Amino acid sequence: MTVRAPAKVNLQLSVGPVRDDGYHDLVNVFHAVSLFDEVTATPADALSVTVDGPATVPTGPDNLAARAAALLAEHLGRRPDVALHIRKDIPVAGGMAGGSADAAAALLACDVLWEARLDRETLLELAARLGSDVPFALLGGTAVGLGRGERLTAVEVTGEFHWVFGYADGGLSTPAVYAECDRLRAAGEQDSVWPQVSDDLMAALKTGDAEALGRALHNDLQPAALSLRPSLRDALRAGRAAGALGALVSGSGPTCAFLAASLAHSAELAAALNESGRFAAVRPASGPVPGVTLL
Ligand code: C5P
């Protein structure tokens, strides 16, 4: 069984105060884009993970896809006797939810392989136990996530948006970026207000207006990501100078997301960003795309 899962970019990531459980209440507008990881599940004697991609991906029980297979097996009362092979295209620790995509793909692949065929609600519940971004990787499209980001409502979108993603050398740790956001707020360097869904963003998505979308993009984690990785400031500037309609850090970073006006414009923008030399890799992509899909 091979399942493909998309990366995400956050069109709005508004971070509320830290909760008693250590998580932050969010308004998180997820948007699935056409950069994909693939997970293949094959019957085996025991649970194992192999990775076709960077050496930084863990292959032990900590791998999120392995945890997904183990959790599903436990739910079904069976042994997790599966070999998972992950083909990575989504940047690792890049703020595009690559690990969450792998977990969602492993859930679906094992669900089909083990002929469990769980209903969508149950899969979404298991996904939320694996991580805040895993339910969205199942769902795909564009969605508002409340709570930790796991309580999802689909958003109406007209047409397609064209993006360019600038990958960085090396990742950023999500907990470290949230902790830096808390530190900046405690030091009075960043405001903390109760997050609200942006009406301008919803209107831009509904009408398919890329210029309005570019103006409405917002990420509360961006100051923290820039504080931990100051070179991202120039990386974002390079995209704006090259004519991007919007430029922001994707999620907790360090990947930078640039919105283009059209498919042709995304190719031009990608060429200019490649030329700038500020990125380890530059990848055009479009969204929204569906969530996990059985190939
Ligand atoms: O849910 P997940 O394991 O993906 O979260 C990774 C980390 O990101 C958490 O340990 C926490 O530090 C931070 N986080 C948060 N608030 C959220 C989501 C994630 O503080 N809503």
So what's the pLDDT on residue 223? 97
Does the beta carbon of 149 lie inside 6 Å of ligand 1? yes
pLDDT score at 190:
67
Read off the amino acid at residue 257. A
Closest C-alpha to 105, from 85, 119, 79, 129 = 85
| Residue range 161-287 in CATH 3.40.50.1820 | no
Q: Which helix (H) or strand (E) holds 210?
A: helix 210-216
CB 86 within 8 A of CB 50: yes
CA–CA gap between residue 233 and residue 189 (Å, rounded): 17
Closest CA to 66 of 130, 113, 132: 130
133 belongs to the catalytic site: yes
CB-based contact 32:155 (threshold 8 Å):
no
pLDDT per residue as tens, the chain (295 positions): 999 999 999 999 999 988 999 999 999 999 999 999 999 999 999 999 999 998 889 899 999 999 999 999 999 999 999 999 999 999 999 999 999 999 999 999 999 999 999 999 999 999 999 999 999 999 999 999 999 999 999 999 999 999 999 999 999 999 999 999 999 999 887 666 788 999 999 999 999 999 999 999 999 999 999 999 999 999 999 999 999 999 999 999 999 999 999 999 999 999 999 999 999 999 999 999 999 999 9
Q: Is 133 in the pocket of ligand 1 (CB under 6 A)?
A: yes
Domain locations along the chain: 2-155, 161-287
> Which of the residues 8, 37, 102, 220 is marked catalytic?
8
CA 147, CA 240: separation in Å to the nearest integer? 32
Round to whole Å and give the CA distance between 29 and 181: 19
Q: Which of these is catalytic: 102, 111, 133, 220?
A: 133
Q: Residue 191 has what pLDDT? A: 66
Q: Which ligand 1 atom minimizes the distance to the CA of 131? A: 1
23 Cβ closer than 6 Å to some ligand 1 atom: yes
Res 194: pLDDT: 81
67 lines ligand 1 (CB under 6 A): no
Distance CA 232, CA 168 (A): 9
Would you state the CATH architecture of domain 2-155? 2-Layer Sandwich (3.30)
